[in-house]
Amino acid sequence: MTNPSAPGATGSPLVSFLAICPDDARVQELLSSLTTQRDWELVLVAPIDPVAAHPAIVRAEAQASAPASRLIEDGVAAASGRYVCVLPDVGVPVDLAVPTLVDWLALAPDAAVVYTDESAVRPDGGIEVVSKQGPAPERLRCQFYYGDLLLFRRDTIAELGGLSHDVDGVELYDLALRCVQAGAITLHVPRVLFHAPSTRAIGAFAETQLDQVRTVLERHLAATGGGSVEAVAADGVHTTVRPLHGEPLVSIVIPTQARLSDPLRPGGEPHSYLLHALRGLVEHTTYQNFEVVLVVDTNPEPAVIDEATRLLGERLVIVDFELPFNFAAKANRGVLSAVGEYVLMLNDDVEVITPDWIESLLRLAQLPGAGMAGCMLYYEDDTIQHGGHHYWMGSPTHIGLQVPRGAAGSQHAFQVEREVGGVTAACSLFPRSVYLEVGGMTTLLPGAFNDVDFCLKVAELGYQAYWTPRAELYHFESKTRDARVRAYELETLGRRWRHRLHQPQYWPFPE
């Protein structure tokens, strides 16, 4: 029998699958799934040789009592593949997994870390496809979301000095984070290449491993700009936060008509969404170094302006806007009139929920290369309005629309800070310098999608957008303006950005 995986046979990279202390049944299961494929070897790291025989099997003697990191290193030492993949105790690479990996690696030969989508069996017996976000270092510090078919370049492991031996059971998460620290290229193959025969909690750890998880995350944060670990959890969602650098002035820019709306209840007083937002800002916000720039249409309600002045005193700047309605132009005028190092664009129909919302946004906006940070917005019926922008098949929308508040989201996406394609201008914080560099918001889009265009410009210039669930607000969506989308607005946006309006790397779902 010839070895189907001989590395010279196809000129393709060999993948070494490592099975740690497998029994005979497990070896047979793996061979069954791999035997029709090419470019692989199976490294059995075991104290006793399983009886299975196959030309692609490599044996690495090991002590069963050795820590996992030692067993993995024994396997890596015995492997000859360019990539190694430590297999979990259950689940198998699917048919065509290796050829698919090889095809993608041909396009990204320098990839040091590779992960894929996978499938699992749901509790009701159905098959669940587990789609993943693309490479996202900030999400990775909150969640080991790469999953089970995770490949590392063998020479990269060597360059990093091997595995860490003091974080038993968490060494692969540690290795993945160290690859990020080293600037190694990570490749996501958005194809289902692994199947688990049971429900899988992506990135979950045993309770006994949580101390090691904390150690790994603390080291990672210290090596990548700082931060702190607030909580680690067995479900794989870890609360880590980046540091706040100083207390820079934040200019909160609010385009508004500053008028009164109908009473919220029959017979009640006329309501001002703006004043409601400002009261929340003043009474519930812990961050103190801010100014508020109101960009106000002609003929505002004097009582609203008076009360805003009383609430904010010298923190208030009022800028007149005498032109026909154009949200983008109002936003531009507000930012140009602001003097803060950072600008927080805010709609006038919001209500602050989390007191440290500005700090949470600022921590992300201060990251190197950050273009903006956005928050979690809820409708008044406690469903999600915004969990980040979502660009799919030419249409921009919001992640999480109308999902109940408190839902974890697919792979806990609503519970972790993560990279996104863009965030809504209803509440977003960005360096003022970035806003000026991209030419602000386009006045070609007076109502809808000016924020999408802004986000795409920011991304085009190489800045990253982030989203956090730690800044929560209600958004009484468009209670104070016309929210209809006109055909020309989508056409104008598409004329510029149709080639950028499909970004599954940030949210790999149609909805």
Q: Which residues lie near another protein (CB under 8 A)?
A: 248-249, 317, 329, 332-333, 336-337, 339-341, 368-369, 433, 436-444, 453, 456-457, 460-462, 495-500
Question: Exposure of 83 by Cβ count < 10 A (0-12 exposed, 13-18 middle, 19+ buried)?
Answer: buried
Q: Give the helix/strand (H/E) hosting 262.
A: none
Supply 475's token pair: 């958004």
Helix or strand or coil: residue 156?
helix
> What single letter denotes the amino acid at residue 505?
Q
Are β-strands 370-378 and 464-475 bridged in parallel, bridged antiparallel, or unpaired?
parallel
CB of 431 to another protein, least distance (A): 9
Which is nearer to another protein, 202 or 445 (by Cβ)?
Answer: 445
| Distance of alpha carbon 314 from alpha carbon 311, whole angstroms | 10
Q: Give the helix/strand (H/E) hosting 100.
A: helix 97-107
CB of 319 to another protein, least distance (A): 9
| Residue 476, CA atoms < 13 Å, CB-side half-sphere | 16
Helix or strand or coil: residue 229?
strand
Which is nearer to another protein, 283 or 460 (by Cβ)?
Answer: 460
Buried b (16+ CB within 10 A) or exposed e, 233-243: beebbbbbbbe
Q: Give the helix/strand (H/E) hosting 75.
A: helix 68-78
Helix or strand or coil: residue 362?
helix
Which is nearer to another protein, 50 or 340 (by Cβ)?
Answer: 340
Which is nearer to another protein, 14 or 292 (by Cβ)?
Answer: 292
Which is nearer to another protein, 397 or 443 (by Cβ)?
Answer: 443
Instruction: From residue 130, give the alpha-carbon distance in Å to each of 96, 117, 121, 194, 509.
Output: 18, 6, 10, 10, 10
Supply 107's token pair: 């396009």
Q: Return the residue matching tokens 């060597």.
A: 158
Which is nearer to another protein, 378 or 454 (by Cβ)?
Answer: 454
CB of 223 to another protein, least distance (A): 18
Which is nearer to another protein, 83 or 463 (by Cβ)?
Answer: 463
CB of 221 to another protein, least distance (A): 20
CB of 180 to another protein, least distance (A): 17
Which is nearer to another protein, 414 or 454 (by Cβ)?
Answer: 454
User: Contact at 8 Å (CB) between 391 and 420?
Assistant: no
Which is nearer to another protein, 87 or 438 (by Cβ)?
Answer: 438
CB of 457 to another protein, least distance (A): 5
Supply 26's token pair: 């497990």
CB of 442 to another protein, least distance (A): 5
Which is nearer to another protein, 205 or 287 (by Cβ)?
Answer: 287
Query: Which residues make beta-bridge pairs with 261?
Result: 271
CB of 293 to another protein, least distance (A): 10
The closest of 329, 276, 317 to 293, measured between CA atoms, is: 317
Maximum Cα–Cα distance for the chain, whole Å? 89
Q: Measured between alpha carbons, how far apart are the two ends of the chain, in Å?
A: 49
Q: What is the 3-state secondary structure (H, E, C) of 460-511?
A: HCCCEEEEEEEEEEEECCCCCCCCCCCHHHHHHHHHHHHHHCCCCCCCCCCC
Which is nearer to another protein, 120 or 293 (by Cβ)?
Answer: 293
CB of 371 to another protein, least distance (A): 10
| Distance of alpha carbon 146 from alpha carbon 196, whole angstroms | 14
CB of 374 to another protein, least distance (A): 21
CB of 477 to another protein, least distance (A): 26
CB of 443 to another protein, least distance (A): 6
- Spatial neighbors of 499 by CB under 8 A, at least 6 apart, are none
Which is nearer to another protein, 213 or 365 (by Cβ)?
Answer: 365
